[in-house]
Structure 1
Amino acid sequence: MTALANLTLMEVDALTDLDGGLNLTDGHARLDLTGEQAAIVARIPEMFETATRRAFPTIEEAAQSAFLGALGQRSAPVGTGRILSCYSSTLATDIVARALPDGATVAVLHPTFDNIADLFRTRGLKLVPLSEEALLDRDWPGPPVSAVVLTMPNNPTGLITPEGHLRSLAEHAARHGQTVILDASFRGQVRDAQYDTYAVLDAAGADWITIEDTGKLWPMHELKIGMLAYSERTTHPIERAFSESMLAASGVVLQLVEALAGDWVDGGYERARALIDLNRSTVREAIETVGLSLADPDSQISVARVALPEDGPDSSQLYDDMVARGVHVLPCAPFFWADPKSGLRSIRISLARPHEIVREAAVTLAEAYLARG
């Protein structure tokens, strides 16, 4: 593994592996369609026709209402013009980074997916880490930090910011003139993360920006929407930054999101939850045979970190061994964007895959670890 590789480059390597290696890198749902989802996909020609006849704002508002409602976000500003539909949550993050003042100091959760830090740095922002321990202790940063970025649930650990902690941060931010930025890309996977964060943030009087994502829930091959919402209080030029990157999202994809959100509340969530739980148990059982364990046993999101002992191979070595065996997973050092060495002792495997693929990958991981020992 090259020392300069970021997580997305490793995901691209897995996606484009001409030898057909197993891809358990990205957190996207690379699954077979359920019967219910297949029936929705079969309606795409109808959605094309609707997109030519129906006003775009009507299509967009229906999708936002269905999706955010399915995730418990009843206070989201649907219909106000303060939710922008992007091609992806990554693009939404870049728009936010460009809207923040150049050179501003931003606290970013640590660890978390490295492209958040990369995008903010690229746009000229100064970053300081906010550890998960500090979050749980409600040890919030003061000035010169002007924005605090949380990922909830966090990737890769699965940590959910409790409602009381988010309220505490929002009240702190309101007192200090800070913006709370919430990346909720994995929210749809976990009921415990679906308390109404919009109500919490607004009640505290905080300036906030929230990024939602449909790409982690359904196997739609990148037909997804990132929703960028912002508070009535914000003075950041978000609409201007949006206009520099986009005209509009696809009305067809928005209809697809609306329909899939309907399935999500009609049993789709439970069907997905059962598979993720089964795959997590399968990984746990496979790695326990060689003395390994899950780093985050209580995590509910569709990825699992495997803890690696100090006296064994680190995650970069194991990553190389796994690729050589035809299986792509992610070493965790890049998630620890402010201190990569602290991530050498865990490796991440995606669970949003068919069960047999996860089982094979977990067995290969155990074999590769044992061979190194």
Structure 2
Amino acid sequence: MYASVEDRLSEIWRETASRKMHDLEAGFKDALARLLHSDALRSSRHFSISPTASSSVDIVAAYMASEGVRVGLITPAFDNLNLMMRRRGVDVTPIPEAEFLDLDRLRDRVVQDRVGCVFLVSPNNPTGFRLSRAEFTELCTLCAKLGKLLVVDLTFRFYAEEPYDEYEILHSSGVSYFTVEDTGKTWPTHDLKASLLAYSADIAALARQIYEEIFLCSSGFALSLFAELFDITHEEGVAKCILDEARHRRARVDAALAGTQYRSTSGRGAVVLPLAWLDCELSGLSDLQVTDGLRSTGIAVLPGRHFYWNHPGRSSNFIRLSLLRPDDVLRDGLDAIGRHLPTLSS
């Protein structure tokens, strides 16, 4: 499917050299909007493009630090989100996933903890938690009513089987927002990445100023390459290009775990992440015991405790296994896990 892009790399390079950066950035954003079927994103003029999603999050953190905003961050979540906020001097408080489903509890949390910004990851890494369209609309409406910023990390968005247009909802609600998009979780291009950082008009001036203090621009070649990949994915379909492979890999995890005391948990809603969040509770072993045992066989997985960033030292029953590995590496790793996990709890 991507062979045509590989054959055109030299041509894409030459075409990029003849175009202005402004046009390349607009082309990247518009191609992503086509793939998302989002007229709201296509018409938006308030965005910047960073080299990585982490770079975009760092700009968000710098904005929060500049404005003295306290951030309510979803938990569990990848701990680098908390680390980047704190490195910028931002005060961070946890918001458990369940509170995003109970707006009364969320309102109380925001008011009591003096939260100025709510930070959601959708779908969430590592659990796959995701709000429905109606629930996301209610969250945006609440944040707008309370005058709170909303940050939405959408870096795993293409693994949601029931997509909706977040940008339409954000624009309609009138909420002040940042969104973070990413190519690195979806298109395998080694270290070549690009991340769209979009924001509402009311915060655009400062957001763009901070961006320009950190970056001149992104790689024009990367923008052209990903615009082409977006268009191919749009033509072929997200299900065929992304979701079918994710489903296949998750099925291989389930097969490898058959007969063990470990369960692969599924996210809330129709989400098929390219990672497995394994529940080890029935084994009687902690996440560190499992990860140490697997490491002795040459298998590296992440202990779940690091995703509970507000209690990093607390024991966890979960481990996270990445499925974004070359096919032979994934095959050998799952075979070894299937053989080794039963012995860990025997």
TM-score normalised by the chain length of structure 2 = 0.91
1:64-108 Cα offsets, whole Å, 9 max, x none, are 11123212333115562x110100010000011001145431100
Query: How many Å apart are 1:310 and its aligned residue?
Result: 5.4
1:88 & 1:371 partners in 2: Cα distance?
40
1:190 & 1:231 partners in 2: Cα distance?
24
- Out of 215, 218, 221, the residue aligned to residue 184 of structure 2 is 215
Q: Which has the higher contact order (CA 8 A, sep 6+)?
A: 1
Query: How many Å apart are 1:289 and its aligned residue?
Result: 1.4
- Out of 70, 73, 86, the residue aligned to residue 35 of structure 2 is 70
Equivalent residue runs for 1:160-171 within 5 Å: 160-171=130-141
Equivalent residue runs for 1:47-62 within 5 Å: 47-62=12-27
1:337 aligned onto 2:309: yes
Equivalent residue runs for 1:173-252 within 5 Å: 173-192=143-162, 194-234=163-203, 237-252=206-221
Query: How many Å apart are 1:372 and its aligned residue?
Result: 2.2
Partner of 2:73: 108
For this pair of structures, how many residues does the alignment match? 336
- In structure 2, do the counterparts of structure 1 residues 219 and 343 end up closer, same or farther at CA, with 3 Å as the change threshold? farther
Q: Secondary structure at the match of 1:227?
A: strand
- Out of 279, 286, 294, the residue aligned to residue 314 of structure 1 is 286
Equivalent residue runs for 1:282-297 within 5 Å: 282-296=252-266
The amino acid that maps onto 1:209 is F
2:22 & 2:236 partners in 1: Cα distance?
28
1:157-180 Cα offsets, whole Å, 9 max, x none, are 111121112211111111221100
Greater Cα shift, 84-93 or 264-273: 264-273
2:38 & 2:161 partners in 1: Cα distance?
12
Decide whether the 8 Å contact of 1:211 with 1:226 is kept in 2.
yes
- Out of 89, 93, 118, the residue aligned to residue 53 of structure 2 is 89
Decide whether the 8 Å contact of 2:57 with 2:81 is kept in 1.
yes
1:323-347 Cα offsets, whole Å, 9 max, x none, are 2212222111111101235662111
2:8 & 2:331 partners in 1: Cα distance?
33
Decide whether the 8 Å contact of 1:85 with 1:227 is kept in 2.
yes
Q: Which has the higher helix share?
A: 2
Decide whether the 8 Å contact of 1:157 with 1:299 is kept in 2.
no
Q: Secondary structure at the match of 2:203?
A: coil
- Out of 82, 86, 90, the residue aligned to residue 125 of structure 1 is 90
- In structure 2, do the counterparts of structure 1 residues 267 and 166 end up closer, same or farther at CA, with 3 Å as the change threshold? same
Greater Cα shift, 56-65 or 146-155: 56-65
- Please identify runs of 4+ aligned residues in structure 1 that moved more than 6 A: none
Decide whether the 8 Å contact of 2:178 with 2:200 is kept in 1.
yes
Query: How many Å apart are 1:320 and its aligned residue?
Result: 2.0
2:284 & 2:334 partners in 1: Cα distance?
17
Greater Cα shift, 171-180 or 320-329: 320-329
- In structure 2, do the counterparts of structure 1 residues 343 and 271 end up closer, same or farther at CA, with 3 Å as the change threshold? farther
The amino acid that maps onto 1:177 is G
Q: Secondary structure at the match of 2:190?
A: coil
- Out of 256, 275, 279, the residue aligned to residue 225 of structure 2 is 256
The amino acid that maps onto 2:149 is T
Partner of 1:142: 110
Decide whether the 8 Å contact of 2:28 with 2:224 is kept in 1.
yes
The amino acid that maps onto 2:32 is F
In structure 2, runs of 5+ residues without a counterpart are: none
2:77 & 2:128 partners in 1: Cα distance?
10
Query: How many Å apart are 1:50 and its aligned residue?
Result: 1.5
Q: Secondary structure at the match of 2:214?
A: coil
Decide whether the 8 Å contact of 1:71 with 1:188 is kept in 2.
no
The amino acid that maps onto 2:176 is D
Decide whether the 8 Å contact of 2:261 with 2:282 is kept in 1.
no
RMSD of equivalent CA atoms: 1.9
The amino acid that maps onto 2:110 is G
2:314 & 2:165 partners in 1: Cα distance?
33
TM-score normalised by the chain length of structure 1 = 0.85
1:44 aligned onto 2:1: no
